[in-house]
Amino acid sequence: MAKYLLGLILFFGLQFSYAQKSLAWPVLGMTNYEQDPVSGLYHPQFPKILESQYEGKEVVIAGYLIPIDVEANTYALSMNPFSTCFFCGNAGPETVIELQFKGDPGRFATDKYLPIKGILKLNRDGSGLFFTLSNAEISG
């Protein structure tokens, strides 16, 4: 019995230490924000769960790829397809994530739905998108 319990502890311990966390859009949607009337910048207030359980950790989230600058390999991941995304004025800033790919990701078609993994960064200064996935790569 002790051998069985030790095996379970080791198995689950390794799972939690090496596995990325699954991140859902509703968790990101818990982010509140205010828009500065002069500068027009958005200032986010992140929920505690996002700061304590996801920030700085490898996460995986699925969404629609939106090209920002194809020549520079700059993409965003959106909760919504391009026609209803933040960049078209049809959604809030909590529905997009900047992607900083590990290497050259190649080219993607707009609205390609993919799971992406990377290290989650919360951007507090209001100068860019609220969320960034660094070392991003296609998951799965």
* Confidence check: pLDDT of 4 > 80: no
What mean pLDDT do residues 6-15 have?
Answer: 38
pLDDT the model gives residue 69: 81
Maximum average pLDDT range among 17-21, 29-33, 87-91, 108-112? 29-33
DSSP 62-87: EEEEEEEEGGGTEEEEESS-GGGSGG
Q: Which pair of structure tokens corresponds to residue 119?
A: 């290290």
For 3, residues 6+ apart whose C-beta sits below 8 A from its C-beta are: none
2-6, 46-50, 51-55, range with the lowest pLDDT: 2-6
Residue type, 69: D
| Tally of CA atoms within 13 A in the half-sphere of 50 that contains its CB | 23
Return d(Cα 24, Cα 22) in angstroms, integer: 7
Banded model confidence at residue 71, pLDDT cuts 50, 70, 90: confident
> Domain 20-138 classified CATH 2.40.50.870?
yes
Return d(Cα 100, Cα 138) in angstroms, integer: 12
Output DSSP code: residue 105.
-
**What is the per-residue pLDDT across 83-113, written as a single tens digit (0 to 9) for each?**
766 666 667 888 899 999 988 887 777 888 9
Return d(Cα 80, Cα 113) in angstroms, integer: 10
Phi, psi dihedral angles at 57 (to 5 degrees):
-110, 155
pLDDT the model gives residue 89: 64
